[in-house]
A and B are shown apart, each in its own frame.
Chain A
């Protein structure tokens, strides 16, 4: 309702910027209607603030202040700089799909030689001409979460991936978000992955900045459906610039006997929030969701997970580790709901935070809502400093203070990183953690 707070830097209301951007936003008919409804929902709520329980620890009015105007479509200069960043962050053996300033960049992407049963489209073309089922899936998220609503209103581009029944992709797919950051701006992206029955895939999402990128905002969302007997491995690495904000949402739904293994690492961005809803729609499915926050300076990173056990015989495991230095702030909110019919649910959540300075802060908020009576559910949370007796043991064996700390920090995050199945991707996460430790000096 506080319209004054929904302003961009020029002082004009965001609704003006929505009006201005409208011509650039893909879709007609139903899509336009959905955008307008989403924008109205967002405009009424504004940026979420600390008086809203779900955003208690991540007050975007204080942290982000405003939503920046839609980033201009990248020109030759931006694409050239993005190409350099893409090379720098390239992962061997993956199929790269690149978004630059929120717009799909075909020249930087690898679209040749697609495996049989793999179809890749852009969000733009799907919203403009795609089939009704895909559009319905893309427009499915409701507007109750203001940041999802904003994303629904403004989504400009993204990647829409379909994997047919019975197809197990051997090559991981990677969606790379690159911000050229030429002018302070926001990018709004939405991607979709639809995995058929008896299928398998690995999806990597990376967020990086081109060299010299200025202030920018990433507003992203990912919609995933995993068919019966299918498996998706998902790795998310946020290495955005320190001047950036990254507000991302994921909505994942699993069929029966499906398996979702997801790992997220946040070491970048000044302000970030990753909110994921994982819904069990079919029986006998399994979810492992693991995450690591590596934060220093004044970084703020929030991981908010909602595990929705709606059917019987589901299993979920959440392992989350935060390493917080300087004046950084790590937030983990883990909500598990076991609905009345979801008997034999086995849900566990463990979150641990390591504080490396007196001013570092970690907030853990586990919430269990159990409405079934034959379930195994548990959660645990710890917060503490590095163990002095372990540090002394390592120092007595010749490790300097920094080396001893680094080894213990690696061990601390190791359990979560070990959950990554793909060797190459696990190495990548380990390397990212090592880079963070080295940068500590």
Chain B
């Protein structure tokens, strides 16, 4: 069974249709890249998969391991193993990152009927993950993302990904606002999480990120549809020729 199946998805925001029948099948172990110009609906797709309010699904379905994802609340999706790395992670003053991570991890575990992590075990786990991502523990004592640089915010997203061990990771424009060094650190973090049981969907505007996170499948989105799919060489082709040809095709 495929891990994530988007079938003929139609989505409206207010009165405007953004996705006009989008389909996508993601299998365990795969890394899919979704590329496309601004306004092609890439972020809408990631938001609808995660369950963000404000989107109206008017047609099609999203199945996660065969289950209807659209019937689930955002927290149920997270507990099942769907993870969205935000393009713009929010700042939450007054909630320390540490407290947030533990609350979230234990909420997911409770929802799955698993035992909650005790503080010492949790600390050990966080310490290991943080060290691998080059995140100092001091950063985790501050409010969630408060005063973090763009690179730190993205690393914090990957830290969560590593901690929650989701089955599907959607990375929404992970490269936006990152310089080349920050991008490399973030990409290394993502690559370390590649596994035969896990799938990733990397949403990006630029080919650059795909030099670091090499995809198995590349999709080109334009005007709310997938207009072309292919191997990793498709990304390079796009880099050379641009999106214009697909905008016409759509």
Contact = CB atoms under 8 A, between A and B. Distances in A.
Interface stretch (B104-112, B200-208, B214-222, B241-249): B104-112
Interface stretch (B5-13, B59-67, B90-98, B180-188): B90-98
A440 interface: no
A185 to B, nearest CB: 41
Contact of A399 (B50, B93, B94, B103): B103
Most chain B CB within a 10 A radius of its CB, from A396, A403, A415: A396
A399 B107 contact: yes
A371 interface: no
Contact of B74 (A395, A408, A411): A395
A415 B107 contact: no
B94 A396 contact: no
Interface residues of A, number: 23
A390 B100 CA distance: 12
Interface in A394-441: 394-401, 403-404, 407-408, 410-412, 414-415
A392 B53 contact: yes
Contact of A389 (B50, B84, B90): B90
A403 B107 CA distance: 9
A392 B52 contact: yes
Interface string B47-89: 0001111000000000000000000011101110000101001
Contact of A408 (B73, B95, B107): B95
Interface string B125-150: 00000000000000000010000000
Contacts of A396: 50-52, 74-75, 77-78, 84, 86
Interface in A38-76: none
A411 B103 CA distance: 14
Contacts of A412: 94
A407 B73 contact: no
A358 interface: no
Nearest to A397: B104
Nearest to B86: A393
B75 A414 contact: no
Contact of B53 (A388, A393, A400, A410): A388
Interface in A374-402: 387-390, 392-401
A398 B94 contact: no
Given A398-B107, A398-B111, A411 B75 contact: no
Contact of B75 (A388, A389, A398, A415): A398
User: Main secondary structure on chain A at its contact with chain B?
Assistant: helix
A408 B99 CA distance: 12
A399 to B, nearest CB: 5
B160 interface: yes
A411 B95 contact: yes
A414 B79 CA distance: 28
B53 A407 contact: no
Given A410-B94, A414-B94, A397 B52 contact: no
Contacts of B160: 397
Contacts of A398: 75, 78-79, 104-105, 107-108, 111, 164
A410 B107 contact: no
Contacts of B100: 394, 397, 407
A388 B93 CA distance: 15
Interface string A282-299: 000000000000000000
Contacts of B111: 398
Nearest to B144: A393
A397 B78 contact: yes
A387 B94 CA distance: 14
Contacts of A393: 86, 89-90, 92
Contact of B92 (A400, A403, A411): A411
B95 A410 contact: yes
Contacts of B75: 395-401, 403-404
A403 B99 CA distance: 13
Most chain B CB within a 10 A radius of its CB, from A389, A407, A414, A415: A407
A197 to B, nearest CB: 38
Contacts of A410: 94-95
B94 A403 contact: no
A392 B92 CA distance: 12
Nearest to A415: B94
Contacts of A401: 73, 75
Most chain B CB within a 10 A radius of its CB, from A395, A396, A398: A398
Most chain A CB within a 10 A radius of its CB, from B51, B86, B103: B103
A400 B95 CA distance: 16
Nearest to A413: B94
A392 B74 contact: yes
Nearest to B106: A398
A399 B90 CA distance: 15
A407 B103 contact: yes
A407 B92 CA distance: 10
A387 B93 CA distance: 12
28 contacts: A387-B90, A390-B90, A392-B52, A392-B74, A393-B89, A393-B90, A393-B92, A394-B92, A394-B104, A395-B51, A395-B73, A395-B75, A397-B164, A398-B105, A398-B107, A398-B108, A398-B164, A399-B103, A400-B73, A403-B107, A407-B95, A407-B99, A408-B95, A411-B92, A411-B93, A411-B94, A411-B143, A414-B94
Given A395-B51, A412-B94, 12 more contacts: A387-B90, A394-B104, A395-B73, A396-B52, A397-B75, A398-B105, A398-B164, A399-B104, A400-B107, A403-B75, A407-B99, A411-B93
The 8 A-B pairs with the shortest beta carbon distances in the complex, nearest first, are A411-B94, A398-B108, A398-B78, A395-B74, A397-B104, A414-B94, A398-B107, A411-B95
